[in-house]
Structure 1
Amino acid sequence: MTAIVITMHDHGFDICSDGASYRPETLELAGLAHKVALLPVYSGFLTYRGVAAIMPIFEAALDDRFTSFDEIVESADVLTHQAAQFVSTIRGQLPDFTIYIGGWSEDRERFELYAISATDRKTNEGGEARKAFVVTPIEWCVIAPAAPREILASLGLVLDDGNFDLTPSALPKFIHAARLSDIEEGGAIAGGFIQETTIRRNTSQTHVLYRYDDVQGDVMIPTPKETADVKRICDERAAAYAALRGQKLQPA
């Protein structure tokens, strides 16, 4: 599983993801992997949930025949289906995954975000099903998986009005919330590290914000220390941003 949170704004995308590759049968950490691929030519990115092999295969298909993000969107259903068929020949069955792709639309002059899944799936409780291999626009936000509300509240992510804190400094907490919510299954399936990615027009950057003490070959188990660490890092940055906004700019 990939823990991923994406917010889209007029000026670009803010993204957080985990970095764990695990064995589904044992929940043991198999290795570390980045789960967001930058597409700087299109002021965009590519990420996924599900079978890890799908992202490099899809990314490799984005060759120089595409001159814009709009052309990729028009072909994304075919590209996703071809990637799924390629993986299925190796695994012996159709893989379960969702691809998320975002970038700058030259045609509509705005940032856009889309999801393409290999299977039909509900977008939310009681919501309409997202059909397999149909390129589906996302209005502005992805939070997957959705952690229990009490865990989100314990990390300070539930605001007084009941909405979630989706400011950039708070997004890493959603990744940690996913890690905490997994423990009932016998171990976490999100971890390794928390990666932050920022996409703006003609500018892309990504870095590892926090590394978990997960050991390859062992089950990933959350600790109170890492919870305190993630909260502290996010809260300190939120306070710094608030202080910066409150300052008056002085002439040079």
Structure 2
Amino acid sequence: MNEQGGRGFIRIPKATFRAHIVDGLRSAILKGEISPGAQVTESSLAEQFGVSRGPLREAMRQLIDEGLLVTIPYTGTHVVELSVDDVREIYSMRVNLEIFAFELVWEKRDEAFRQGLLSRQAELTRCIDSGDDVASIDAELQLHGFVYEVSGHKILQKTWESIRGRLQLYWAAHHRAHGIRGPRRDGHDSYVANALGESLDVMRTEIRAHMARGGQQTEDFLLSSNAGKLERSDVQARATR
């Protein structure tokens, strides 16, 4: 007999089971299998993933906290869908958040900070080289998230977590639409070099420029997507006349 009473299997801890559901649901959203704006229900997801509603409900709650799902009164839970104005607000907030995070840690940077940042850059490069787009996007956000974690500022960390899921979702959609396999391999070289450099003012400038590039790319993608939707709607409308 084993430690589980001789039944021949090991019971998966509830937290681990929930994490598996979260990973599966997050992956489905980021791969476009569940599209932005789509409504998700416990019954349909329970059937799709072959799980009970209890842990699924907890998984959905986590993805709401991550910013991938949103609950709208009287209409249910949906995959987040952002407008161009939403993206502009997120990126303008992100610039100020990241500058503030570096201001908090600048004088505290040590060898552990250096090694931690370089380790995350190396993981991002590894994911890009492997051609895993979803993992690359997550690794990019892990790299940017490092300074928030080191800051020790809990409200700042919570605010970052509330927007990172939305960034993840739209970067994934943007990459799918344009056949991109992850971020540019050298896209964070300047960011990391300046984060480990001597001048906080230079890092502030780097953050503004880095975020401006990402924000503009996301805006362009959303504008082109919306134009495509309008064109398809117009074609369908003419076809029904």
Q: TM-score, normalised by structure 2?
A: 0.29
More relative contact order, 1 or 2 (CA 8 Å, 6+ apart): 1
- State the structure with more CA Rg: 2
Greater share of residues in helix: 2
TM-score (normalised: structure 1): 0.28
Structure with the higher strand share, 1 or 2: 1
